[in-house]
Amino acid sequence: MAQISLTFPDGNSRRYEAGVTASAVATDISVSLGKKAISATVNGAHWDLAWPIESDAAISIHTMRDDEQALELVRHDLAHVMARAVQEIWPDVKVTIGPVIEHGWYYDFDREEHFTPDDLGSIEARMKEIINARDPVHTEVWDRERALQHYRDNDEPYKVELVDAIPGTDPIRMYWHGHWQDLCRGPHLQHTGQLPADGFRLTSIAGAYWRGDSNREMLQRIYGVAFKNRDGLKQHLQMLEEAAKRDHRRIGREMRLFHMQEEAPGQVFWHPNGWTIYTTLQDYMRRRQHAGGYEEVNTPQIVARKLWEESGHWDKFQEHIFTLDVNEEHAQEKAVNALKPMNCPCHVQIFNQGIKSYRDLPLRIAEFGSCSRYEPSGALHGIMRVRGFTQDDGHIFCREDQIESETARYIEFLSNIYADLGFPEFKVKFADRPEVRAGTDKTWDRAEEALLHATRAAGIEPEMNPGEGAFYGPKLEFVLTDAIGRDWQCGTHQVDFVLPERLNATYVGEDGSRHRPVMLHRAALGSFERFIGILIESSEGRLPFWLAPCQAVVASITSDTNEHADRIVAELVSAGVRAEPDIRNEKISYKVREHSVGKVPVILAVGHREVAEGTVSVRRLGSKATETRSLAEAVRELASEALPPDLRRDDEMRSKDGTA
């Protein structure tokens, strides 16, 4: 029998017979490790303990202490255990697929009757029985015809379709959890007893079309969350409770910001308060982009299909594109146009107007581009996931030797913006080539090397996010963490050699010949809609003073101070504060409660004493204490707070220079 060498993380190696399993290797190291092992990594691939190793390899053995591998396996195995439990309780149910998702998993079922919340309790109880039984998990490799016949014999039509859809002719892997079997590429745990019986919870039931096709069967999807132990689950459930309190849809209603309705699915009806947030944020971004050397442009929302075909979006992105058939005069057939799903091909058209010289580069253009993308109705979520949105989109056309300086410049630009918006720290991920992409491997090698080098030169070592690049180039993803620990990928920075080639963008180089520019795609906020939703949830509606739609309410304590309250409002508005009066015939305690629910940052109360003394009683949102301040002092302080951060800095600099 041939011998192979396995090298461990500490650099030591051992020799084994070819075909040895990771389970045998773990037991050879120590009996204790053999029992605790859950999986291995072999030459960088996540490896089932039962899979044979046929050649020399680097290997590491994982236990439940290894968070990344442990959580993936726990959630994957629980998906199988849940499907087994469902079919044991309701044998007529057909199973489909059950992938791991963030924090847990889901599995889709075909069942005539609807699952109920009570059913989730029954399924959980049966799952715990399966876990406590410590049933062995084992795997076999079958040829396709055997797998197809197995699923036909067991009346599992969805599994038949899945096997038929697997490309190639290689045999496929089958897994058993006890007596229950599923088609799966693995890896999995050694036995069901390795699952934490107190570390999971079934959370919800939803509808889902088979394979995401609205013309196919409607299935029932059961979601679950799972962690390595009870404490992890408890923390997550507490986070979910906190997230529910911060739900931007509920807060949006309380603050009268926006609404959605079925006549315009996935599109936002902005109310005055919400539109004030939107335009204040947009004005801030406009100033920052102008200061950052960007020229603002605007491009059409409806563009002919021909451009999307030339750019490659039609082939790679067609399912998300809304199309319009237009009967053009004198045309023999209808013209197919599209609502633009992104702005980049249109920005290349602006670049292509006239001759560009190397002296014109880098050319930075930006647009608050209104885009439309088809998202399945089940994926829509308030203003966080919509069909109509506006991006703070920008593109930098530059020479290849300018990628490094422009990347560093953009990271600094974005860092300052995030700090102003309450996110002084963020993570950076490097997303490389996806499976479906445009351009040659040679072009991708060049683009990935350039972006990674530029990122490291800017002093950042990014996390790797394999396969998540755009179809035309690798990208940096800028990930914010909100007040309750959730991550949100917002900003991007992408290096693109493909679109300039496809859309024939050129500039005249120093040598007098034509060259292709590099196109850097960038967005700081992403979509305004989603970013505002993130701000609302992270702050629980208590937005920074400069962004609050109503910054101050002047509330009269008695009706004979109403006119004085109106005069204070006028003075605040004149000083640049968004202020409103509340002179209703209500008790001051009622007014304070109502405006606190509406997340108004400051309430100024005025009664007889305040009128006589020229003061106001100031109450800040979240505080039960009030301060008595002179009216002039209160107006001056609130006017300063009302300035957006960039204008406040300018104002402070002018004051220091004595030019104010």
Q: Which of 76, 188, 201, 521 is catalytic?
A: 521
Inter-residue contact 281 to 547 (CB < 8 Å): yes
Specify which residues 481 forms β-bridges with: 487
Which stretches of 50-202 are DSSP H helices? 67-89, 117-132, 144-153, 157-165
From the candidates 69, 190, 194, 391, which is the catalytic residue? 391
Among 77, 108, 119, 393, the one annotated catalytic? 393
393 is catalytic: yes
Tell me, yes or no, if 373 is annotated catalytic.
Answer: yes
- Six token digits for residue 305: 């299909």
533, 251 contact by CB (below 8 A): no
Q: Where are the beta strands (DSSP E) in 615-654?
A: 615-620, 626-630
User: Of 201, 437, 475, 515, which residue is the catalytic one?
Assistant: 475
Instruction: Give the whole-angstrom CA distance, residue 202 versus residue 96.
Output: 18
Is 490 annotated as catalytic?
Answer: no
Cβ pair 601, 552 in contact under 8 A = yes
**What residues contact residue 514 under an 8 Å CB cut-off, 6+ apart?**
506, 507, 508
Answer whether 339's CB lies under 8 Å from 302's CB.
yes
d(CA 211, CA 209): 6
The yes-or-no answer on residue 395 being catalytic is: yes
Where does residue 395 rank: exposed (0-12), middle (13-18), buried (19+ CB within 10 A)? buried
> Which of these is catalytic: 62, 77, 184, 344?
344
**Helix 272-291 × helix 403-420 angle, to 10°:** 140
Q: What is the DSSP letter of 136?
A: B
Q: What share of the chain is helix, strand, coil (3-state, %, to 5)?
A: 40, 30, 30
Torsion of CA 35, 36, 42, 47, to 10 degrees: 80
Is 184 tagged catalytic? no
Cis bond upstream, residue 645 (ω within 30): no
> Known catalytic residues?
344, 373, 391, 393, 395, 475, 521
